[in-house]
Structures are given as structure tokens and as C-alpha cells.
Amino acid sequence: MTNILLEPGLYLAVGGFMGFLGGCLFYGLWRRLLSRSASRNFWRTLPVTVRSMLMSDEPRELLSYYRTLIAATARYAGFNLLGVMVGITPITVIFLLLYALDPSSRVAASVEVHPAMVITHPAELVNDLQQDKEHMLIDLDKLDDSPLQIAGQTLDRETLAKKQAFCKTTASCLMFGMMMFETHKINPQTGYQVGGSVVVRPVLLDSNPFWPYLNDLDFLFFLAVMLGSVTAAWWSRHRRVDES
């Protein structure tokens, strides 16, 4: 199966289909936990409760309406959050599976460093390969055993070939980690100054406008998830109209 998915076109097709399926599952699970009738009942009674609370003169009656409003809102928000958490589970599982089958680290012949100015050693590599301050392509086959210094940290050839990010803050490292980047916290004691995060990524499936933060699979997968959710919502509504 892994060898088949080394073909980029088929790999993207499988990723898109699985993303669409994940989006459909997300909507189905979310709607099962937060039914349409419960949602409609909450939004229908909410303005009535608020209006009654504002027009009430008795403190005890006002407190009763307030408790009703808090309880209804908490119940609606709780089921909504639970539905999102349950619905996102199959999407997460599918994404992890696709990441495990991602051939980028195994077959990519080069890596891209963004921004390029983070490479400070060896100097001859910087002079030979740097095209602009935004990115640098490094041919792994032509790279000798000399380690590279990137964002104040030293990487050998094997480490360089991985999908990774160097972050200034814990929050940015967490965000990159959620996208399955291997994260490194930039140590301020190294004296290295950088305006934002540094991304090192094997060059494969790099045609989308959000590269190098997303490759084509990531972009297509999340787009398919949204399309699947919208399609499932439309189909559910269309079927309900036909049945009525």
C-alpha cells in the first residue's frame, strides 16, 4: 500500500477522498449529539427567556429566568462542544494515517528552508544556494557530512530531511505540532534573532499557495473536509425537505 501511495497523484486522490469522508462523518456525529430539534428549540426559546427576564420586576422571578437562561445556554454549548470533539475524532485518525503514509521524508531529493537567512553555517553553502531571503532549496544528494546551523541549532543530513519547525513561543510550537511538524524551541541564549518561526520541509507536493506551512495533501485534505461537511449538511436538509 505504501509503495502505491508514493505516486503523488494517487496519494492526493486518496487524501481528498478520505478528507471528504471525514467531513461527512464530522457532520453526522455532530448532528447526532446536537439534534436539529434541540438546536431549533434553544434558539426559539432564547429571545423569549431574555425578554421575560428584562421585563420582570420581581427579583425572585428575575433570578428564575436567569437560571433558566444559564442552564439552557450551558446545555446547548456543552452538547455542541461534545459534538465537535466527537466529530473531529475520525478526521484526526484519518489525518494521522495519511501522515504515516506521507512519502515526503523518504523520497524527496531536496528540502526547503524558510526563511533562508536562518542558515548561518557553513558560509559557502549560504553563498552558493541562497536565491533570496525567503527560501533556500538544499539538494540532499549534494550535501556532504558537514552539519548545518539553522536558527542557532545544528542539524546533520538525516535530521535536515525531516518536516520540522523552529519556534519562538510555546503556542507557535503547539500549532506546528498539531500539523505534525517536529518542533524545536529557539533558545534565546544562542543570540539568534528571528522575526517568526522557521520551517524546514522536504520538497514534495509543494504547489499550493500556503507552502511550506501546508503541502498539497494538507491543503486538499482540509478543503475536502469542509466540502464533505457542507455536502452532508445539504444532503441532510434536502432529504428532510423531501420527506416532509
pLDDT in tens, 83-103: 999 999 999 999 998 888 877
Task: Say if 211 falls within a structural domain.
Answer: no
Q: Measured between alpha carbons, how far is 31 from 13 in angstroms, rounded to an integer? A: 27
Residue 26: DSSP 8-state: H
Statement to judge: residues 25 and 95 lie in one domain: yes
Cis check: omega of the bond before 212, within 30 degrees of 0: yes
pLDDT at site 143: 67
pLDDT at site 5: 45
Average pLDDT over the chain reads: 81
Task: Say if 16 falls within a structural domain.
Answer: yes
Pairing of strands 182-185, 164-167: parallel
Statement to judge: residues 127 and 188 lie in one domain: yes
Number of domains the chain is built from: 2
pLDDT at site 127: 45
Statement to judge: residues 141 and 91 lie in one domain: no
pLDDT at site 4: 43
Task: Say if 13 falls within a structural domain.
Answer: yes
The lowest-confidence range among 17-21, 129-133, 183-187 is 129-133
pLDDT at site 166: 87
Statement to judge: residues 93 and 144 lie in one domain: no
Statement to judge: residues 95 and 120 lie in one domain: no
Statement to judge: residues 199 and 226 lie in one domain: no
Other C-beta atoms closer than 10 Å to the C-beta of 31 total: 16
Statement to judge: residues 94 and 34 lie in one domain: yes
Residue 200's nearest CA partner among 170, 169, 155, 133 is 155
pLDDT at site 144: 65
Task: Say if 208 falls within a structural domain.
Answer: no
pLDDT band, very low/low/confident/very high, at 221 (cuts 50, 70, 90): very high
Amino acid at 176: F
Task: Say if 198 falls within a structural domain.
Answer: yes
Q: Is the pLDDT of residue 130 over 70?
A: no
Q: Is the pLDDT of residue 199 over 70?
A: yes
Q: Measured between alpha carbons, how far is 150 from 13 in angstroms, rounded to an integer? A: 35
| Pair 206, 112: CB distance under 8 Å | yes
Task: Say if 210 falls within a structural domain.
Answer: no
Higher-pLDDT residue of 116, 226: 226
152 is in which domain, residue-wise?
A: 109-203
Cis check: omega of the bond before 188, within 30 degrees of 0: no
| Residues 5-47 pLDDT 10s | 457 778 889 899 999 999 999 999 999 998 888 888 999 998 8
pLDDT at site 194: 60
Q: Is the pLDDT of residue 128 over 60?
A: no
Higher-pLDDT residue of 241, 79: 79
The lowest-confidence range among 76-90, 137-151, 196-210 is 137-151
| Residue located via cell numbers 446536537 | 34
Task: Say if 226 falls within a structural domain.
Answer: yes
pLDDT band, very low/low/confident/very high, at 244 (cuts 50, 70, 90): low
pLDDT band, very low/low/confident/very high, at 3 (cuts 50, 70, 90): very low
HEC string of 151-169 equals: CCEEECHHHHCCCEEEECC
Mean pLDDT of 168-190: 84
| Pair 99, 11: CB distance under 8 Å | no
